[in-house]
Amino acid sequence: MEERIVFHVDFDYFYAQCEEIRDSKIKGKCVAVCIFSDRGGDSGAIATANYNARKFGVKSGIPIMLAKNKLKEEDAVFLPADFDYYSDMSSKGMEIIEKYADVFEYVGRDEAYLDVTKKTEADFHNAEHLAQQLKNEIRNNLKLTCSVGITPNKLLSKIASDYKKPDGLTTVKPEQVEEFLSPLKIREIPGIGKKTEDIFTQMNVHTIEELRRINIFDLNKIFGRKTGGYIFNSAKGIDTEIVKERPPTIQFSKIVTLKKNSKELKFLQENVMELCVQLNIIAIENNKMYRSIGIQFVNEDLSTKTKSRMLKNPVSNEDQLKKVANQLLEEALVEQVMLVRRIGVRISEFSDVEGQSSITNYF
């Protein structure tokens, strides 16, 4: 049997909505959830904003300073992100959602895919009913609203859940796929971001209908075989990816914004060492050994430099991590001309630690 019914469930303006739920007094105001960097003051970025704030151009990713400026005339609150609280809300929500699925795929704190083909007997009418029940249960239990896309695949459901927000429910049946996609901006396709959009703008391609007219050879030439094929199929609403449990994470990383821009070895070392400590703890908590270690610079101008090294054998050891990270740091600094704004460390190429006790004890 070919035909599937897939949900994409997306909690609306999630972090900001969580804050509204915690303190209903701020509902009706502009709410911006902030990630403050270690620089102090208002250095940092907006994680999420509610719809009141979005009306004034405040959205995720923009600098906090800029957001404050945009909202200076408004009744606005700027709250520090409280990820523990959001994770807790997320767990409670996911626990409810999961029950509605034949197959459940957790994507992130605020989104999930559900294959509901069996549950709905592949009937879209049944599916809409099921989705409404899901939304009701989430709202009644958590006071949380979400938007749902109901379509034959993950790609379309992701686009559909975004189509009407907040508190939306959008169904696209197989025979409606073309008319649904045609007028949409290409940016609506997940994976098409700013850069890709710019390229298409130069080619005078703005809507998905226009995108559909580009042949696959040209797409492959511009974007490579994989991405070209992905864009080509996406324009037609074709996506064969199945809903399945996510495989475990394959890398961990930590990055900080430095107190001051610098390229001084000693100062950068101190920061890298601290990141190593934290990362190794994460590795141990997850029972992982790692074989690849990398560092990352984000320069003054926000350009990025990475340097990584594969080890002979996997390790899970703080001193080893520090030693290699430090080597990489020294090597990277040799050719470094710009000052560094942010610095990060990454571990990957995991293997599982067997047994109860940490293997580090044996070295």
Partner DNA sequence: CCCTCGATCAC
Partner DNA sequence: CCTCATATCGAGGG
Binding footprint of DNA on the chain (CB under 7 A): 35, 37-39, 43-45, 47, 60-61, 63-66, 69, 108-111, 189-197, 223-228, 249-257, 292, 294, 298, 302-310, 341-342, 344
Our CB check for DNA shows the closer of 194 and 266 to be 194
Residue 2 gets the label, from left (phi > 0), alpha (psi -120 to 50) or beta, of alpha
CA-to-CA distance for 35 and 48, rounded, in angstroms? 10
- The CA-based angle 39-341-69, given to 5 degrees, is 50
CB of 48 to DNA, least distance (A): 8
- φ, ψ of residue 257 to 5 degrees: the values are -90, 125
The catalytically annotated residue of 20, 105, 111, 318 is 111
User: Residue 91 and residue 58: Cα distance in Å, rounded?
Assistant: 27
Cα–Cα distance between 346 and 279 in angstroms, integer?
A: 8
Q: What backbone torsions phi and psi does residue 80 show, to the nearest 5 degrees?
A: -70, 140
We find the least distance from the C-beta atom of residue 123 to DNA, in angstroms, to be: 29
Q: What residue type is assigned to position 75 of the chain?
A: D
Shortest gap between Cβ of 276 and DNA (angstroms)?
13
Paired tokens of 297: 């610079």
To DNA, the closest distance from the beta carbon of 284 in angstroms equals 14
DSSP letters along 94-159, please?
HHHHHTT-SEEEEEETTEEEEE-TTTTTT-HHHHHHHHHHHHHHHHHHH---EEEEEESSHHHHHH
Residues 6+ apart with CB under 8 A from 154: 6, 8, 113, 239, 241, 243
d(CA 116, CA 101): 5
Residue 117 vs 161, nearer CB to DNA:
161
Q: For DNA, give the closer residue by CB, 117 or 239.
A: 239
Q: Output 34 or 138, the one with its CB closest to DNA.
A: 34
Active-site residue, 111 included: yes
CB 125 to DNA: min, Å: 29
Q: Which is nearer to DNA, 215 or 303 (CB)?
A: 303
- So which residues are the catalytic ones? 111
